[in-house]
Amino acid sequence: MDTPRIVTRHFSRDLLLVFLVISAVVVAAVSYLSTRARHDISQKYIDGAAKRAVGAFQALAETTSRDLKLIRDWGLTFNLSLADTDGLKGLLFPILKRDRIIFGISVADTDGESFYVVDVGDGWRTSRTGKTDDGRGTVRRIWDADRNLISEETKASVYDPRQRPWFFPALSTKGVFWTPPYQFYDRKDVGITASIAVSKASEETSLVIALDILLDDLFREIQRMGPSENSRVFIFRRDAQLYIHEATDNSSGFQAIGEINDPLIRKLVTSWTGEQQSSEEAFSIRHKDQSWWSGFRPLERANLNIWIGVMVPESDIIGGINQRRAGIWSVGGIIIAFVGGLTLWMIRRYGRSFDPTTHFDSSRPGESINNLITMGEGRTVEFKATMRMNLHTQKPGKEIEKAWLKSVAAFMNTNGGTILLGVRDDGEIAGLEQDHFDNEDKCKLHFKNLISQHIGAELTKHLRFTIVRLDGKQVGVVSCRRCTDPVFLKIGKNEAFYIRNGPSSDELSVSKVVAYIQKRT
């Protein structure tokens, strides 16, 4: 059997090791869950932002298409004509004023005649272009909010609507035709145009109606509905061209990745095209000590050539992330605190039974006995002057044997302990010689027989009896380990249950025995 000091050390070490392992597992799990929470919340945030951006584009496209079809239907019903300036004003001015995303509206025919209107804030500007005696010319008029003419000028012009990218494709398209981004003729800004044809079999010429949308206006509208103040939206094409709001002056509005001056955008797109091409999974990059989350969504599921990109700094998402992290770490802290408290409780409850200061150390027998004597009797230490001899009558007495056997049972039912036989109550060593055994073997045999008779032979594995010579006298050391099964002291036909209560061994009644056993197990 291990010495109490070794047992104590191993017991505490093993419990602390278990605590550390459990704590490490909890910390690892919490760290993983915290990281997943960061990713999941950011993924959800970016998903929502990207879907809203795509949805905004699609909603604007639907609104624009609806306006076009409305103008077409009106033209088919009321015989829309380029010569009817008042009719064009009455139809187009309200549409332009209502839909702020529309920059301008064109109505052109296959003869090269056109009528163009733009909103100028407090009114409108119209341009009527067509053939003149000197070639081609444009009549430009300014109208106030009440549609009254303010000014008019005529000048030569080379503008021909049939040369614009929206004209002939609309004639050959059933429904609405959308151009790729290009440079507008009037302002030299980059935008897109939606166009639709108005054709009547009875007429030789056909009309095309076109609505111009500036990409910058479109992006401002999208940004207005963006997920956060610092978020950014851009368009990415599969030919590695990007359009970034207010970032380019070239004619197409798109730039190659290598030509982009913004290192954040360049790093983001390079990361996506290099590692997650065609993926809609949100991902993050580090740029100037800040994390940015981004996601891409195709503008149309049937056409994966154009994608909408959304990027948001993590600082804008941090509120939801920190809230989830705090919850996870709180749960982890509670688990660690509970395990730590349980470990401390086990050390305090069960470690006392291995306390080397209250148990005999066979590796240092003399020093250990002196320490026990110095400490005095208590919850785990008991002194008995003899094993069997009544010093008053100078005869062996059963009452003497019962006294220390009672302590053996009490120690085994509580937290273990040590009985020193041959030591008086005041700590003076009297020696086992007073019991007049012929030799040590006879003394040990007598001890064994008493234990078997009054405690039970099957419980001897929890006891150890050692005889130590100290200061020329013999001291018997009975080391008792705590027993998980209840231990009864048998005297004749009677059985008694004892527990240690301070320096004394108390007998419990039957009702209290049941309660005590249930509690200790």
Would you say 149 and 170 are in contact if contact means Cβ atoms under 8 Å apart? no
Name the more confident of 125 and 273. Answer: 125
- % the chain with pLDDT above 90: 34
pLDDT at 3: 43
135-142 CB contacts, 8 Å cutoff, 24+ apart? 136/112, 136/160
pLDDT at 297: 79
Q: What's the pLDDT band for 8 if we cut at 50, 70, 90?
A: low
Would you say 403 and 396 are in contact if contact means Cβ atoms under 8 Å apart? no
Kindly indicate whether the domain formed by 67-218 is annotated with CATH number 3.40.710.10: no
Kindly indicate whether the domain formed by 359-520 is annotated with CATH number 3.30.950.30: yes
pLDDT at 250: 47
What is the model's pTM? 0.52
Would you say 479 and 380 are in contact if contact means Cβ atoms under 8 Å apart? no
- Does the pLDDT at position 517 exceed 90? no
Name the more confident of 134 and 396. Answer: 396
Which of 184, 178, 181 is closest to 164 using CA atoms? 184
pLDDT at 135: 81
Would you say 214 and 223 are in contact if contact means Cβ atoms under 8 Å apart? no
**Helix 215-224, helix 4-78: angle, nearest 10:** 130
User: How far is it, in rounded angstroms, from Cα 508 to Cα 504?
Assistant: 13
- Does the pLDDT at position 520 exceed 80? no
Q: Which of 81-85, 115-119, 197-201, 502-506 has the lowest mean pLDDT?
A: 197-201
- Does the pLDDT at position 476 exceed 50? yes
- Tens of pLDDT, residue by residue over 272-331, are 765 455 567 777 788 888 888 787 878 776 667 777 778 888 777 765 455 555 666 677
User: How far is it, in rounded angstroms, from Cα 401 to Cα 118?
Assistant: 117
Q: What does the domain layout of the chain look like in residue ranges?
A: 67-218, 359-520
Q: Which amino acid is at 462?
A: H
- Tens of pLDDT, residue by residue over 163-214, are 999 999 999 988 899 888 888 887 777 888 999 998 875 667 889 999 998 8
pLDDT at 235: 75
User: How far is it, in rounded angstroms, from Cα 370 to Cα 361?
Assistant: 11
Dig out the tokens for 19 from the structure: 């605590």
Query: If you average pLDDT over each of 158-162, 274-278, 330-334, which comes out highest?
Result: 158-162
**Is 101 buried (19+), middle (13-18) or exposed (0-12) by CB count in 10 A?**
middle
Per DSSP, which regions of 82-189 are E strands? 104-109, 114-119, 123-132, 135-144, 149-156, 177-178, 182-183
Dig out the tokens for 406 from the structure: 């009672």
Dig out the tokens for 114 from the structure: 């056109």
pLDDT at 294: 81
Name the more confident of 134 and 512. Answer: 512
Q: What is the largest CA-CA distance in the chain?
A: 154
